[in-house]
Amino acid sequence: MIGIVDYGAGNIASVSNALAFIGCDASIVSSPGELDRCDGLVFPGVGSFGAMVETLEARSLYDPLKEKISEGTPFLGICLGLQLLFDGSEESPDHKGFGIFKGNAKRFSQGKVPQIGWNSVEPVGGAISGGWAYFVHSYKIDECEHALAHTDYFGAYVSAVKKDNITALQFHPEKSGPYGLSLLRWWTSCLQKE
């Protein structure tokens, strides 16, 4: 079973619907004990970085979620779920990310902020195909040695990462039409091979 981590994010229903559409057995999980029942975890991150960390801590999910990822549970982070894997964010300097990848999310310094709408996803290597995806974010990761894809918005930034059991997307696959669904299918097929 795939667990969709509930920390109060507004896009949980759309993520759940997208996974159901591609035939996945998924359930919303909101307590540390429920994490243990999951073969894979999806983190549907929206909102502000600081509020996300505070809610995870208030629900006693911060450390257990980090532990499950470090133990090798397949993980898919969406939007803030990608930024959570890094050291932190300029948006909330007093709140720490998981520090699995080095670096901090930085605010876009040009263009309309937040970036809202469709943009191109350009793969790094051949693990995923390129396509057009739906983005809503004000902060970005400039570089990562485990980048799976880049996107350009007044300069290139990391729009997907993958390392071992960890995959994360800066964009919203659940709102990205056939391309987004293809990536969810790809991730779940990787999960089945774990």
Q: Would you name the residues annotated as active-site residues?
A: 79, 172, 174
Name the helix (H) or strand (E) containing 17: helix 12-21
What ranges make up the beta strands (E) of 98-179? 104-107, 115-123, 131-137, 139-140, 147-152, 156-163, 166-169
User: From CA 172, how far away is CA 46, in angstroms rounded?
Assistant: 10
Q: Tell me if the bond preceding 114 is cis, omega within 30° of 0.
A: yes
